[in-house]
Amino acid sequence: DAKTTQPPSMDCAEGRAANLPCNHSTISGNEYVYWYRQIHSQGPQYIIHGLKNNETNEMASLIITEDRKSSTLILPHATLRDTAVYYCIVKETSGSRLTFGEGTQLTVNP
- Residue number with CB closer to another protein (53 or 67): 53
Enumerate the β-bridge partners of residue 106. 10, 84
The verdict on 49 binding another protein (CB under 8 A) reads yes
Residues 6+ apart with CB under 8 A from 11: 106, 107, 108, 109
CB of 40 to another protein, least distance (A): 11
The verdict on 40 binding another protein (CB under 8 A) reads no
Query: How many whole angstroms separate alpha carbon 29 and alpha carbon 67?
Result: 10
CB of 15 to another protein, least distance (A): 27
Q: Using CB under 8 A, list all residues that contact another protein.
A: 36, 41-46, 49, 85, 87, 91-103
